[in-house]
Each structure stands twice: as C-alpha cells, then as structure tokens.
Amino acid sequence: MIRSRDNETVHLSNGNTIGLAHYGDSDGPVVFYFHGLGASRLEGAYWAKAAESVGAHIIALDRPGIGLSSAQPKRKLLDWPLVVSEVAQNLKIDQFYVLGTTAGGSHALVCAKELSPDTLKGVGLVGSWWPMSMTIGNMMKLSYNRWGTRHLYKKTIISALNDPDPTVFHKQDLEVSSYRESCRQGPQGVFDDYKIVFGEWRCDIRDISSRNIGLWCGTEDYHSSIDENRNMEKAMKHATLVEFEGDTHHTTLATRGEQILRGLLFGDEKSDWHLLKHDDYN
C-alpha cells in the first residue's frame, strides 16, 4: 500500500514523544530514516518516490526537541539506539534498516554499534560525517561554542539555498518545510543537535566490525568531504563506499535515492556497487 503520513507520534515509556513520518510502501521492509542538521522528519520526503519504486517503507524520525519530538536537553548520542528500538517495538516492527544523511549518519552509526544484527538488518550512510574527535583539531571544539554553533547552522542553511546544482531548486519547498518544522518548538532543539554531533560521540566507529555498512557520497559534496568518507570506509572492516562523480549533496538526495535504497535493502546485485565502488585511492 502506497501512502504518506507525515505527522504521527509515538509515546515512549519515559514519557517523551517522538515525531515520525511514513513514506513509500507501508507493506515493505522498514527503513528508519535519520535527517541531517537543521532538518526534520519531513526530509524523508526526498526518499518518497524512490521508496515507492523499490517497495520500501521509510519511517523518518524527528530527534528530540525537533519537530514533534519532546525536548531532551541532556541527551547523548548513545541514547538514540534505545529510542529507535522502542519506536520499533511500539510500531510492532521486528526487523528494520537505518539510513542517515550528514548528522543522521552519526545516529545510524551508533545504532550499528549498539543494536543486535538480528534486529538491525542493514546500515546506510549518505554524505555522512564521522566523529569530530577523529578529525584534525576536532573542529576547534565548535560544539561547545554557542556562537560557533549558531554560525555553522546559518552557514549550512544558506549554502543549501545557494547550491549551484539546478535539481536543488526543484526541492526548495521541501527544504524550507523541513527547516521550518525543525524549529517548530524554537531553535534550541537544533542547537542541541549540533552540540551532540560535534561533541564526544563515546563510540569508536573502528569497533563496528560485525555488520556490513553502505556509504554513498558525491565527489562534490560540500556537506561531507569525500576524503572523510574514504577514511570512514577504511576505518570500518565491512564498509563499502560508492562515489557519485560530480554529484553535490543535494544532487545525491534528489537523483540517487532508488539506487541507494536498492543497495541498502538488496545488496550488490541490484545496486551496481561492484561497478561504482572506487578503488583508485587504495
């Protein structure tokens, strides 16, 4: 059944609420989608047509303090897998995949670290980030500087609006809707999200070795360095990176969704990983 529902909530045992949106085929395999910074569950609409084509059920979640989700000022990144697990239990979902873009990728990675392979069947990262503690200078500890956090947030939103790729403008309404929804409760939830992602993850991705992880990134992605994605692939034993030559972050989201979902759900045969995987830098 093809149906979109983008304003639902799930109540957790601790009294908090998580907002969610459904896209694609409600009878298909479930993919929990984790949005990027300055976005919300409505970003999942990027994947609606691809999910319909592939037969996947995308469930996009608002993180705490964003959109319809209750604020959790003291939350940590490692709290997220427990939230996802409880949402799945509430929805009577026994097995699922996770997919994250930019900062959503960090939340997908901690799920890979913490959740059982019997429950979490696959992990996908699109233009994702890896721990700031593993990058040069740790981004000047940006997460602990209020001005820096606000400045980076503004820079990210403005850069999206100025993207030279023409496909971005076809998604402008979606971009604005997702951004506005992220601030439904005010900007604090978004600021908290920045602090968590740019802070200490308390999760070493090099320890994630028991499952396959798919990475996809455009070579012109200015949200996520292709070099960092290459380093992520090397750091994790069973990670595979697919590079989209010449693609920006928004081009990838706008045009590569079906290929990415096929890769996540069905593996190499239906996603052409074996044709697209780079090996010229190894």
- Tell me if 282 is assigned to some domain: no
At 154-194, the pLDDT tens digits run 544 455 445 555 554 445 677 778 888 999 999 899 999 98
Q: Which of the four pLDDT bands, split at 50, 70 and 90, describes residue 282?
A: very low
Q: Report the pLDDT averaged over residues 204-228.
A: 86
- Cα 43 from Cα 172, distance rounded (Å): 11
Residues pairing with 23 in the sheet? 58
Write the Ramachandran bin of 15: left for phi over 0, alpha for psi from -120 to 50, otherwise beta. Answer: left
Q: What is the pLDDT of residue 171?
A: 56
- Cα 164 from Cα 114, distance rounded (Å): 38
Which among 219, 214, 264, 217 is positioned nearest to 240, based on CA atoms?
214
- Tell me if 267 is assigned to some domain: yes
Q: Report the pLDDT averaged over residues 18-33.
A: 97
- Stated pTM of the model: 0.84
- Tell me if 281 is assigned to some domain: no
pLDDT at 276 over 70: no
In total, how many domains does the chain have? 1
Q: Report the pLDDT averaged over residues 12-38.
A: 96
- For the record, the structure tokens of 245 come out as 């030559």
pLDDT at 272 over 70: no
Cβ(237)–Cβ(204) under 8 Å? no
The H or E element that residue 155 is part of is: helix 146-161
Q: Range of 252's domain?
A: 5-276
Q: Report the pLDDT averaged over residues 92-105.
A: 96
More confident residue, 234 or 166: 234
Q: What is the pLDDT of residue 273?
A: 38
Q: Which domain CATH number covers 77?
A: 3.40.50.1820
More confident residue, 154 or 215: 215
- Tell me if 244 is assigned to some domain: yes
Percent of the chain at pLDDT above 90? 57
Cβ(101)–Cβ(108) under 8 Å? no
- Cα 21 from Cα 56, distance rounded (Å): 14
Cβ(41)–Cβ(21) under 8 Å? yes
Q: Report the pLDDT averaged over residues 225-244.
A: 91
Q: What is the pLDDT of residue 136?
A: 43
